[in-house]
Structure 1
């Protein structure tokens, strides 16, 4: 029993999950800021459509950020909480001065690709650890990201 947390999860895998969830949290913060900037700065014939879509994406991302941080706390760890930590721990990079529909949607697809890969890694770890809470959180988000990924690809290739 000494190798188990208060919630009954193995301590070693729990720590690995918390580390990966912090990596996801960092990536989500940079993704959030990117789509927030796209919302503010989009120009061109698809302005109204993409302005609204980017607002939807950053609003959803903000909710996911809170859920991920709360899951890290539930596992008994501290979520990252500074932008310097996010930048260091994120694979997704900050964007600067993107205003066209193709650039912003293309970059959003790239950012979502990073999130998808990372979430699949977390799913595998959570499954191996019998961590139903993390499995549920990530699988729900994964489904939404895949749908958004499909829609943005349809927009870009339409």
Structure 2
């Protein structure tokens, strides 16, 4: 009696591939944002040091959990998750930080990056919706909600 390794979850391979490709972009954005937020956590200075140091730690910890969820969803759809710096650099719309900006500039960059991740998630959503891929749609909805809220909180610090 042979066992089949074919995936039969009610979503065709073509749709699963399109969704996995979109999630790979979301994974790259999320991982790049994780690295940038962690980098800013290590290097922030100034009067807002303690507030930002703790805030950035909370954010990068949540992002670390998110990359795992996104990668595992890609795997559940039957495709390999990207995991190298070079793959992430090609796929990500979030640009890495190579210099240490002021605390205020860190906040401004992270607002733009949180919004960029939201846009990527929103671009993938119609693919999941069209394929009736509720688990991916749920993941994307949660990611959009978190990134929109984080962008709002960061933006509030600049006003």
Smaller-chain TM-score bracket: over 0.9
Could you tell me which runs of 5 or more consecutive residues in structure 1 were left unpaired when the two chains were aligned: none
Which of the residues 142, 146, 154 maps onto 2:156?
A: 154
Q: Secondary structure at the match of 2:114?
A: helix
Q: Bigger CA drift: 93-102 or 107-116?
A: 93-102
1:99 positional shift: 4.0
Checking the alignment, whether the CA contact within 8 Å between 1:91 and 1:114 is kept in structure 2 is yes
Alignment match, 1:56: 58
- Tell whether 2:27 aligns with 1:25: yes
Distance 1:124 1:107 in 2: 27
Structure 1 segment 2-21 matched on structure 2, within 5 A: 5-21=7-23
2-side partners of 1:130 and 1:58: how far apart? Answer: 31
**Per-residue deviation at 1:98?**
2.2
Aligned alpha-carbon RMSD (Å): 1.2
Q: TM-score scaled to structure 1, two decimals?
A: 0.93
Checking the alignment, whether the CA contact within 8 Å between 1:43 and 1:99 is kept in structure 2 is no
Count of paired positions: 154
Q: Is the 8 A contact 2:118 2:143 kept in 1?
A: no
Corresponding position of 1:101? 103
Indicate which of 65, 68, 84 corresponds to 2:67. 65
Q: Is residue 44–residue 101 contact of structure 1 (8 Å, CA) maintained in 2?
A: yes
Q: Which residue of 1 aligns with 2:139?
A: 137
Cross-structure match for 1:122: 124
Determine if the alignment matches structure 1 residue 83 to structure 2 residue 85: yes
TM-score by length of 2: 0.93
Q: Determine the C-alpha separation between the residues in 1 that align with 2:123 and 2:9.
A: 22
3-state DSSP class of the match of 1:96? coil
Give 1:11 deviation, angstroms.
1.8
Runs of 4+ in structure 1 off by over 6 angstroms are: none
